[in-house]
Amino acid sequence: MSNKKLIIGIDGGGTKTTCILFDIKGNTIDILHNKGSNLYVYKKESLAIILGSIHSILEKNKFNIEDVGAFGVAIAGISDLSQRELLLKELDRINITKKTILLSDVEAAYRILCPNNIGLLVNIGTGIICFAKDKDGKIIKEAGNGHDKGDLGSGYWLGKEIFYKLILNEALVFEDEDLTQIFNIITARFKVETFRDLYDKIERGDDLFVPLASLGEDTINLAESGNDVALSIVQEGTRYVSDYIVRMSERLELITSHDIIIAINGSVIKNNFYRQLLEESLQFEFTNIHWVSSPISSAYGAGLIAATYNNMNISAKEIIEKNKN
- Residue 325 pLDDT: 65
* Same domain? 279 vs 308: no
- Residue 202 pLDDT: 87
* Same domain? 199 vs 134: yes
For helices 177-190 and 228-251, angle between their N-to-C axes, nearest 10 degrees: 70
Mean pLDDT computed over 286-307? 91
Burial per residue of 211-250, b for 16 or more beta-carbon CB atoms within 10 angstroms, e otherwise: bbbbbbbbbbebbbeebebbbebbebbbbbbbbbbbebbe
When divided into structural domains, the chain yields a total of 2
The whole domain housing 238 covers 114-294
219-258, pLDDT tens digit by residue? 999 999 999 999 999 999 999 999 999 999 888 876 555 6
The answer to whether residues 62 and 301 touch, using CB atoms and an 8 Å cutoff, is no
Average pLDDT, whole number, for the chain? Answer: 90
* Same domain? 41 vs 133: no
* Residue whose C-alpha is closest to residue 8's, from 315, 307, 311: 307
105-141, pLDDT tens digit by residue? 888 999 888 877 778 999 999 899 999 987 788 889 9
Residue 227: helix, strand or coil by DSSP? coil
Q: Is residue 170 part of a domain?
A: yes
* Residue whose C-alpha is closest to residue 58's, from 71, 74, 47: 71
* Same domain? 150 vs 216: yes
- Residue 184 pLDDT: 97
